[in-house]
Amino acid sequence: MKQFMVSRLVIWIQVILFFGFADSERPESVKIGAVFTFDSVIGRVAKAAMEMAVSDVNSDPTVLNGTKLNLIMKDGMCNPFLGSTGAFQVLEQGVIAIIGPQSSAMAHSISQIADAVHVPLISYAATDPTLSSLQFPLFFRTVQSDSEQMSAMADLIDFNGWKEVIVVYLDDDYGRNGISSLSDELENRRLKIAHKLALSIQFDLNEITKLLNQSKAFSPRVFVVHVNPDPRLRIFSIARKLQMMTSDYVWLVTDWLAATLHSFLPANQKALSIVEGVVGLRQHIPDSNKRRDYISRWKKMQKEGIANTSLNSYGFFAYDTIWTVAHSIDKFLKVYKNITFSLHDNNMVAHTEGIGIQLEKLKVFAAGSDFVDILLKSNFSGVSGQIRFSSDRNIISSGYDVININRMKINKVGYWSNHSGFSVVPPEILAKKEHRRVSVDQKLANITWPGGKTERPRGWVIADNAKPLRIGVPKRASFVEFVTELQDSHQIQGYCIDIFVKALEFIPYEIPFVFKPVGNGKSNPNYDGLVKKIDENVYDAVVGDIAIVTNRTKIVDFSQPFASSSLVVVAPINRSKSNAWVFLKPFSPDMWCIIIASFFMIGVVIWILEHRVNDEFRGPPKRQIVTMFMFSLSTLFKTNNNTVSSLSKMVLIVWLFLLMVITASYTASLTSILTVEQLSSPITGIDSLIASNWPIGYQVGSFAYSYLTDNLYVSSSRLVSLGSPEEYAVALRNGPSGGGVAAIVDELPYVELFLSKETDFGIIGQPFARSSWGFAFQRDSPLALDMSTAILKLAESGELQKIHEKWFCKMGCPGERKSDPKPDQLHLISFWGLYLSCSVISVIALVLFMLRMISQYVGFKQRQKDSAASSSEPSDSHCSRVVVNFFNFIDKKEDAIKKMFTQCDNNPHNPNSEL
């Protein structure tokens, strides 16, 4: 550290001394170097792009202010040694920046040289993520790092639901570090690289054939190819010959393929037939006027023979790289006016005499660190988009295009960005809308996969030479209907086995398997230990009544549940006598009150209607009250009465209908209540069971014991382990006083099977500790997902219910027999319509009766007035007298009223004709 500070001080002293004698005018020219492979897919387009950019910079008066930009290019020829030699050669000529290289391996070596002389290295093609480490503080890149690209690739794999992939890559810095980044990204998504197929840098057809033939023995069928641009498309040519471009395969590629295909001249477009169905990434370049103008100029250069290749994305980045350096040089010269170099400090670099290279004689860019700071703050609009660098000197990502090769065309099916994920809308538009990544919004257009199919491939098969799956099954000693091994035939059968075998029919590929019974058949095996054997690679899967619980999900993957396994309480259903007041339970208190009130109301209405015409409703008040009440009760037994008036009959019909409905409802409700009263249990649920001091039974092997002790804090001394259904029945019948148990806590499927054979017991209260059964597989096994899909199809097709009925309904499906201490009662709200109808009819009858009485009374009084006028007798019109007379008139019998009318007509002077 001390030597470093001293060297920096010496450099600044040299700069100050130089500025003291140097001319303050800007230099006539500035040199920058470029080291890359001329004869390559990227190099050919980069060379033309950089030459165009230098020409544009030198012809633009707003940049460099008359200082000419000179570009010195050296051919690295895909060789790190030759690339390093080229870097020495351009540094000897006094360049202040090196552009390139396109090779990540070459960038590692040249970065060390550039760092020593404080000259930044700006690459438009080296994507190795490790180049952004602190080890290379002067390395910049205008192309997106593979760390960003591998994040997009991992999202693409996850988006399509694939769990394992095979990678084909170059075994160099570019390939290894890119795949390492992909592995990290996949691991973050609980995905993985199942196999790695490494290729040498100069791979040939024999090497490719050997590796791809080797991959046929693997189950994954999703390939990720990460190599250098290859105009011959050798990997896909061999894959096509090996029948590996069919619908069983998925081929995903990084942006090397897009660069290769875009560099093809129109005459070579037929080569796209080799990569039909391939899906890849291409660095996204936002649309702009500058981009369109640049493309137009490039096509013109092609026609004029200046450019001998088609334009790919690296042509955009190379062009913008020259402009990035030019803008930074312009800003640097505005501050420092000139560019100075100094001899290397011998204390910083070891002597290199004897090896032919004298690194210590190279000149150091005196203000290199300041130039790097200016470069880091670059911010302008280029042909590839906005040019800005992050703190790790990487270009800020603009995302990727997702491309699909179909019908010899490159089809864009969507976009990806770290900000918004997958979409069919360009990332720059979503960024303006402040759109955030949401999983349900992820979308791509339709993709045509290898083989011409649009249905997404499974990406995983059982390999031809794969060993059969080792499937562990519990050899149960109790509840053998779920799964067990028959002693005579050693056949594995049961409810769980039937579901598993039927689900295999819904998986679109053959799965060889062999059942491995676990247990001695005398006691149920430990299920936690059985599941643990999957993690220990003893079994590939376990099929049986395996509850999906937290500690098991940490070591295995479960399929979609195929049965509910909530814990329930089973207890005896006591057939006891009903209590003395059970007959009152069908109706609620308000219902009983309204019924009683209705009897009195109907009695009053009938009395009013019948008092004038029916002798039974006349006489002393006591007799009339008794008659009125008894008549309303008698309607329960009399459906026809010819002695009553028509209005009374109308009311009675409605009243009788109401009584019939109430009586029928009462009878049905009472029958149900008497049944419940006969089938009752002192236990109402798990709470009352825990609160009691009774012993509780549970099944050995289920998770009932651990749940009761760990979650409900039940004393283990109260828990009694039980085995087969016979022990269940005996223990429950004996009860706590007879050495048995008061209730049993077990999983619902076991209880359903037990109750299908026993009618003296039932489920008490509600289920608790809700869980499910599923098939267990090794972690990240694609079979777990495929089996889940198959189970859902079983449920949708009704096959799952048929299998359930086959095993649980041999004696008729028992359902859930539950005791209900609070039977449903009938309330007033259920009959308010009938009561309202009855009330309306009664009111109508009373109104008609009163209108008739008022009419008779008015007529009678009119005749009286006529008689009084002829006899000159005064009439009494006092209000109270009128009311009294009216009620006296109503109280008289109908025959008496008629007689009064007759007398009034025949003898108007008879005083007896008055009321």
| Residue 808 to residue 495: CA distance in whole angstroms | 9
- At 636 the pLDDT is 47
Across the range 516-542, mean pLDDT stands at 92
Those residues whose C-beta lies under 8 Å from the C-beta of residue 65, and which sit 6 or more positions away, are 26, 330, 333
Separation CA 907–CA 915 (nearest Å)? 15
pLDDT of residue 911: 45
pLDDT at 280: 97
- Tell me which of 688-697, 724-733, 753-762, 804-813 is least confident: 804-813
Q: Is the pLDDT of residue 12 over 50?
A: no
| pLDDT, position 431 | 82
Assign 344 a pLDDT band (cuts: 50, 70, 90): low
At 261-305, the pLDDT tens digits run 998 877 677 788 899 999 999 999 999 999 999 999 999 998 888
Average pLDDT over residues 225-253: 95
For residue 559, name the pLDDT band (cuts at 50, 70, 90). Answer: very high
Q: Give the least confident one: 582-586, 681-685, 720-724.
A: 582-586
Q: In which band, very low, low, confident or very high, does the pLDDT at 546 lie, cut at 50, 70 and 90?
A: very high
Q: How confident is the model at residue 622 (pLDDT cuts 50, 70, 90)?
A: low
Is a pLDDT exceeding 80 seen at residue 864?
Answer: no
The region of weakest confidence among 11-20, 280-289, 441-450 is 11-20
What pLDDT does 503 receive? 94
Averaged pLDDT, 849-864: 73
Given pLDDT bands bounded at 50, 70 and 90, which one contains residue 156? Answer: very high
Split at pLDDT 50, 70, 90, the class of 41 is very high
**Does the pLDDT at position 641 exceed 60?**
no
What per-residue confidence (pLDDT) applies to 883?
A: 67
Kindly indicate the confidence band of residue 326, based on its pLDDT and cuts at 50, 70 and 90.
very high
Name, in order, each residue with C-beta under 8 angstroms of 881's C-beta and a sequence gap of 6 or more: none
Are 182 and 166 a contacting pair, CB within 8 Å? no
Q: With bands split at pLDDT 50, 70 and 90, how would you rate the model's confidence at 99?
A: very high
Going by C-beta distance under 8 Å and a sequence separation of 6 or more, which residues neighbour residue 210?
none
- Mean pLDDT, residues 801-825: 65
- Residue 849: pLDDT band (50, 70, 90) is confident
CB 635 within 8 A of CB 659: yes
The pLDDT value given to residue 583? 61
**CA angle 239–241–244, rounded 5-degree value:** 40
Please report the DSSP string for 147-165 in residue order.
HHHHHHHHHHHHHTT--EE
Span of 36-40, 309-313, 471-475, 510-514 with lowest mean pLDDT: 510-514
Cα–Cα distance, 333 to 64 (Å, whole number): 8
Higher pLDDT: 875 or 369? It is: 369
Q: Mean pLDDT, to the nearest integer, of 382-397?
A: 94
* For range 224-250, the mean pLDDT: 95
DSSP assigned state of 305: T
Tokens of 24: 């303050």
Residue 412 has pLDDT above 70, yes or no: yes
Q: What is the C-alpha to C-alpha distance for residues 728 and 756, in angstroms, rounded to an integer?
A: 13
Residue 659, pLDDT > 90, answer no
**Of 200 and 607, more confident:** 200
More confident residue, 152 or 266: 152
Lowest mean pLDDT among 97-111, 422-436, 762-776, 879-893: 879-893
Provide the pLDDT for residue 15.
46
Biggest distance spanned by C-alpha atoms of the chain: 166
Q: Which of 139-143, 289-293, 510-514, 904-908 has the least mean pLDDT?
A: 904-908
Q: Across the chain, what does the average pLDDT equal?
A: 82
Residues 6 or more apart whose CB falls under 8 angstroms from that of 861 comprise 885
pLDDT higher than threshold 90 for residue 815: no
What gap in Å lies between CA 248 and CA 733, rounded to an integer? 60
Q: Parallel, antiparallel, or unpaired for β 341-343 and 363-365?
A: antiparallel
Residue of 389 and 811 predicted with greater confidence: 389
Q: Has residue 853 got a pLDDT over 90?
A: no
- pLDDT tens for 128-151 read 999 999 999 999 999 999 999 999
Q: Where are the alpha helices (DSSP H) in 305-351?
A: 313-336
Mean pLDDT of 322-341: 92
Q: Residue 508 has what pLDDT?
A: 77
Query: Is residue 52 scored above 70 in pLDDT?
Result: yes
What is the predicted pLDDT for the residue at 53?
96
Query: 851: which residues sit within 8 A by CB, 6+ positions away?
Result: none
Residue 873 has pLDDT above 50, yes or no: no
Is residue 4 scored above 60 in pLDDT?
no
Number of alpha carbons in the 13 Å side-chain half-sphere of residue 856: 24
The total number of residues shown for the chain amounts to: 915
Task: Assign 611 a pLDDT band (cuts: 50, 70, 90).
Answer: low
Phi-psi region of 222 (alpha: psi -120 to 50; beta: other; left: phi over 0): beta
- For the sheet with 222-226, list strands across it: 192-199, 164-170, 222-226, 250-253, 279-283, 400-406, 409-417, 421-423
User: In this structure, what token pair is assigned to residue 347?
Assistant: 């204390």
Peptide bond into 101 cis (omega under 30): yes
Identify which has the larger pLDDT, 256 or 869: 256
Does residue 468 register a pLDDT over 80? yes
